[in-house]
Structure 1
Amino acid sequence: MATSPKKGNLNAQAFDTLRRDIISCTLKPGTTITEAWLTEHYALGKAAIRHALARLTQQGLTLNQGRLGYTVAPITIKSIRDSYQARRLIEPELCRLAAGRLDGDKLRALRDCSSASYDRNSAAEMIAFSQANHRFHCLIAHAAGNDRLARLIEELSDDHMRIAYVSMVYGQSSEYWNDDHAGIVAALESGCGDEAARLMTEHLASGEEAIMKAILNLPELLETSLSSS
């Protein structure tokens, strides 16, 4: 049976709302949440909340704990390092494959993502900026033409959105991404795959260093969810 437009809209609203609050750490990593609490707190229907939790769990942002409810996926030092290791192995090669294969529309989209900025006093702008960063990496991955690797990058980059948000709150400048991204786009447009791969490798390495520095200065997250394992 097809989902009605109204039901579909409620499902999307619930998913977008919970995802936003997980990314901004309004729902802190490691926090236990239940369908009943979320339904009451967000004034959304139970069915929509259940649908949102299923999608969030599929994306790795929540963990299903059975009768105990759900846990907002922890941010751990190991998970950050593992994720960046996977990205360093995959994304440079995707850049090499994508070089020279992006049409005018995709290049314009990449430049739009690269020019995004934010005000650190605006949570909405920081979330929008982290979404632009997410889209930048996913556009390149899809342009490479390997759908399986593109889906993997989407998953890894999606979880990075909340890590990136935290690093912005604690001092990381938008210029860091903008400058790196502009160089990658130029290399992709000129068809220089090796250069694009090299720049992506450097971008991910410096990103990991900056994010680890920011994360380790978060005592409230260290107390609840950050660990070495």
Structure 2
Amino acid sequence: MSRNAFNKDEHMVATRKVSLNERAFDTLRSDIIACQLEPGATISEAWLAEHYAFGKAAIRHALARLTQQGLTINQGRMGYSVTPITIKSIRDSYHARYLVEPELCRMAASRLDAETLAALRECCAATFDRHNSAEMIAYSHANHRFHCLIAQLAGNQRLARLIEELSDDHMRIAYVSMVYGQSEKQWSDDHTHITDALEAGQGERAAQLMAEHLVQGEKAIMRAVLELPELLETSLHSA
């Protein structure tokens, strides 16, 4: 076999492996966001590999990334657990966002470019059907992207990484909120008004709207999770 042929085969194997790793990560992440893998559930590599029909290597890779994002917890020999949703974790997360995101809006207003504006408008246009799980997950991604775009636009990479981490965790509780009453119109309207202020260069106005948006979001999510007390308790899954 020629060196070129060998390198080509090696590249194809690596590509398939990356694709499988990505599929495993995306699948597990979507099921955590949709609470199909319940908050607090104990899970193992063996159970996940059998349940999802992925190899253990792909599952291991997915769990490492999910743990890095704060969606799972490595418990050593006991396996992994899905990070629980707690009242304290929701309040702590929102407290951090209140302190940071309005200021990021102030910073972003003077830096908005046409490409980012178009991306923000695209996020604002997202909708979902409460009876369609895939659409709600896609909407969660759009909401996540909206907040991350503003953080990145502000130009402080450390704060942008913090918001990405916080927003990542919010995708799951936002999904629960969508199922139990939060409307896409409320989110879309809030996002549109924030984007309008950014486009007009009105940093203070954008900051005020972001603060109000976060307050309303926390209230909606708290109402939703309090209607589902089982999501706030640690439960066992197949290990």
Normalised by the shorter chain, which TM-score bucket?
A: over 0.9
- Taking the aligned partners of 1:27 and 1:173, their CA distance within structure 2 comes to 24
| Count of aligned residue pairs for this structure pair | 225
Is the contact made by 2:40 and 2:233 (CA closer than 8 Å) also made in structure 1? Answer: no
Letter in 1 for 2:161: R
Which one of the candidate residues 161, 175, 180 is aligned to 1:151?
161
| 1:26-105 map, 5 Å | 26-105=36-115
Letter in 1 for 2:57: A
Letter in 1 for 2:178: M
Is the contact made by 1:100 and 1:190 (CA closer than 8 Å) also made in structure 2? Answer: no
Mapped pair 1:168 → 2:178: yes
Is the contact made by 1:95 and 1:200 (CA closer than 8 Å) also made in structure 2? Answer: yes
- Taking the aligned partners of 1:30 and 1:83, their CA distance within structure 2 comes to 18
Mapped pair 1:116 → 2:126: yes
Is the contact made by 1:130 and 1:161 (CA closer than 8 Å) also made in structure 2? Answer: yes
- Taking the aligned partners of 1:128 and 1:41, their CA distance within structure 2 comes to 23
Kindly name which structure, 1 or 2, has the bigger radius of gyration based on alpha carbons. Answer: 2
- Taking the aligned partners of 1:8 and 1:187, their CA distance within structure 2 comes to 41
Is the contact made by 2:87 and 2:232 (CA closer than 8 Å) also made in structure 1? Answer: no
Deviation at 1:223, TM superposition (A): 4.2
Secondary structure of the 2:36 match is coil
- Taking the aligned partners of 2:229 and 2:179, their CA distance within structure 1 comes to 14
Provide, for residues 1-47 of structure 1, a one-character-per-residue CA deviation record: whole Å limited to 9, x for no partner.
98811110111011000000000000000000000000000000100
- Taking the aligned partners of 1:170 and 1:180, their CA distance within structure 2 comes to 19
- Taking the aligned partners of 2:232 and 2:48, their CA distance within structure 1 comes to 24
Deviation at 1:105, TM superposition (A): 1.3
Deviation at 1:224, TM superposition (A): 3.4
Provide, for residues 60-96 of structure 1, a one-character-per-residue CA deviation record: whole Å limited to 9, x for no partner.
0000000000000000000000000000000000000
Letter in 2 for 1:153: I
- 1:181 is aligned to 191
Mapped pair 1:14 → 2:24: yes
- 2:6 is aligned to none
- Taking the aligned partners of 2:167 and 2:208, their CA distance within structure 1 comes to 19
Which one of the candidate residues 219, 227, 231 is aligned to 1:209?
219
Is the contact made by 1:92 and 1:196 (CA closer than 8 Å) also made in structure 2? Answer: yes
- Taking the aligned partners of 1:224 and 1:63, their CA distance within structure 2 comes to 13
Mapped pair 1:197 → 2:184: no
RMSD of equivalent CA atoms: 1.3
- Taking the aligned partners of 1:222 and 1:58, their CA distance within structure 2 comes to 22
Is the contact made by 1:127 and 1:165 (CA closer than 8 Å) also made in structure 2? Answer: yes
Provide, for residues 183-228 of structure 1, a one-character-per-residue CA deviation record: whole Å limited to 9, x for no partner.
1001101111111101100100111011101110003324437xxx
- Taking the aligned partners of 1:184 and 1:169, their CA distance within structure 2 comes to 24
Letter in 2 for 1:12: E
Under a length normalisation based on structure 2, what TM-score does the superposition of the two structures give?
A: 0.92
Is the contact made by 1:14 and 1:49 (CA closer than 8 Å) also made in structure 2? Answer: yes
Under a length normalisation based on structure 1, what TM-score does the superposition of the two structures give?
A: 0.96
- Taking the aligned partners of 2:45 and 2:200, their CA distance within structure 1 comes to 50
- 2:3 is aligned to none
Secondary structure of the 2:112 match is coil
